[in-house]
Amino acid sequence: MANPLYDELFGRHAGKATAFLHLEDGTTLTHASFLALAAQYANALTATGVRPGDRLAAQVEKSPQALALYAACVQAGVVFLPLNTAYTVDELSYFIENSGAALVICDARSEPDLTPVATAFGAQILTLNGDGTGTLTDVAVRQPDTFATVDRTEDDLAAFLYTSGTTGRSKGAMLMQNNLLSNARTLVDYWRFTDTDVLLHALPIFHTHGLFVATNVTLIAGGSMIYLPKFDIDRMIALLPRSTTMMGVPTFYTRLLDDPRFTRDLTKHMRLFVSGSAPLLSETHVTFEERTGHRILERYGMTETNMNTSNPYDGERRAGTVGFPLPGVELKITNPDTGATLPQGEVGQIEVRGPNVFKGYWQMPEKTAAELRPDGFFITGDLGTIDEDGYVHIVGRNKDLIISGGYNIYPKEIELVLDAQPGVLESAVIGVPHADFGETVLGLIVPAPGARPDLEAIGQSVAASLARFKHPRKLVLLDELPRNTMGKVQKNVLRETYKDIFALA
């Protein structure tokens, strides 16, 4: 047997002295040195008793060592569960319990708070810091720099990524080896990646975009990455001349455009700019092309499917659309009530089918059955249409999901916190347009009779309970929430009313 994901992403680079990661301090990690580090981590995982098929939950800062941990999990057959570094202990407790993680890897600063959680759910805990130090590294440095790769098949589970709807608990989307491999292979070909490409990588690696798109594509192509811990405008501008490609969320592009140093001359050697994870405003498309001469390539994907569509590499990259279904991916627009395919030009729910589509939700057969049809089509929850030229347009979401700066935000989770605050009768959370983040969070609060809620105190309570990217940018007091005849809050009315509250620059 073999391990297809490891073999294609990593194994074929064994022994290569070519550059893989260009680091912020000016040093370079070759493919060979990176794989030696990954092998040490794979040995360390085995030494702790982690076995193939076990889940490993990692909430760690972006670093070469964090990326090597991903490679180690693939090589050892361990299911990798990357977690947003902004999640609170309360949020992490659910993920650790639900996944049945055998091992938790966290920053040393989080260890005191997470140790009781890990212990309660029968998981071991080790640390890995942003500078590469930690108890995991202490174990790894004593290990051999080779590891006998564990046999797996393309149908084996490779990773979990947690997502959720507007109600209920978060769902662990099960991604198989073939889900990740098929999508990366397609993107390498569709976006023309080669071993001469240098990707400017400033995305987080706990997310599909930064890990399974940017990293996997670079690995299959045999290229290299300028690997930044986070988006930093000065570093981005300084390093663009050494890059050929860049992937980012809309925020990256709006902030670059806000800087006068970002010019046509600075980007003249670049081959490709890709945007995703949140809607890119049409004016950003236009301004970017006027400034640089480049047209951003926008694509559409999600946690459960990786990438589904893309604007073309050659041909018109049409602003306001997400392009065409990728090769091997089927996409249709259906009636949300009946599931019947709608005629071209009509708005309905987007469904997709292909080797990129996940297997289902971990230990949630009812949710899986509700969203993944027996014929393999996945009901994405997005509303869209296909125009006369075949371009896919996303016009909204049928679950009120907010996407801000590339992060998925689910209103119900925030509403539960707001509703529990003193003096609050009820609340509604909506996403409204924001030039920098695509969308941002607005909280609308109805006071209890005779009460005057303290908005500052409510904001502090939200900050203590939820990750920063979920915090409402503004809280607004209302006399009542608009409702239809059935008593349901009309969030569409609220979105229309407050669409200009953060006037687009």
CATH code for the domain in which residue 101 is found: 3.40.50.980
Contact present, 438 and 408 (Cβ < 8 Å): no
Residues 249 and 116 in one domain: no
CA dist 220 and 150 (Å) reads 20
Look at residue 114 in the predicted model and tell me its pLDDT. 95
CA dist 193 and 404 (Å) reads 28
Q: Which residue has the tokens 């395919």?
A: 341
Cα 285–Cα 291–Cα 295 angle in degrees, nearest 5: 40
CA dist 420 and 423 (Å) reads 9
Look at residue 279 in the predicted model and tell me its pLDDT. 74
Judge residue 422's burial from the number of C-beta atoms within 10 Å of its C-beta, 0-12 exposed, 13-18 middle, 19 or more buried.
Answer: exposed
Residues 39 and 125 in one domain: yes
Residue 409: closest CA among 109, 122, 86: 86
Residue 486, SS3 per DSSP: coil
- Residue 251 in any domain: the answer is yes
Look at residue 68 in the predicted model and tell me its pLDDT. 98
Cross-strand pairs, 301: 307
The DSSP annotation for 269-282 comes to: T--EEEE-SSPPPH
Look at residue 505 in the predicted model and tell me its pLDDT. 40
Contact present, 276 and 249 (Cβ < 8 Å): yes
CA dist 69 and 48 (Å) reads 14
Domain termination residue (choose one: 153, 171, 187): 153
Look at residue 491 in the predicted model and tell me its pLDDT. 85
Domain termination residue (choose one: 91, 119, 153): 153
Tens-of-pLDDT digits for all 505 residues of the chain?
699 999 999 999 988 999 999 998 889 999 999 999 999 999 999 999 999 999 999 999 999 999 999 999 999 999 999 999 988 898 899 999 999 999 999 999 999 999 999 999 999 999 999 999 999 999 999 999 999 999 999 999 999 999 854 445 789 999 999 999 999 999 999 999 999 999 999 999 998 999 999 999 999 999 999 999 999 999 999 999 999 999 998 889 988 999 999 999 999 999 999 998 877 777 788 899 999 999 999 999 999 999 999 999 999 999 889 999 999 999 999 998 899 999 999 888 999 999 999 999 999 999 999 999 999 999 998 888 999 999 999 876 676 778 888 887 877 778 889 988 999 988 999 999 988 888 999 999 999 889 999 999 999 999 998 999 999 999 999 999 887 543 567 888 898 899 989 874 4
- Model pTM score: 0.83
Residue 378: closest CA among 346, 354, 401: 354
**Residues 6 or more apart from 496 whose CB is under 8 A from it?**
none
Residues 408 and 393 in one domain: no
Look at residue 416 in the predicted model and tell me its pLDDT. 81
- Residue 11 in any domain: the answer is no
Distances (CA, A) of 118 to 82, 125, 346, 465: 16, 7, 49, 19
Domain termination residue (choose one: 397, 430, 455): 397
Residues 86 and 34 in one domain: yes
Residues 436 and 407 in one domain: yes
Distances (CA, A) of 87 to 114, 464, 465: 12, 11, 9
Look at residue 1 in the predicted model and tell me its pLDDT. 63
Domain that holds residue 142: 28-153
- Residue 186 in any domain: the answer is no
Residues 406 and 439 in one domain: yes
Instruction: Count structural domains, the chain.
Output: 3
Residues 241 and 295 in one domain: yes
CA dist 77 and 494 (Å) reads 47
Between strands 378-386 and 348-353, the pairing is: antiparallel
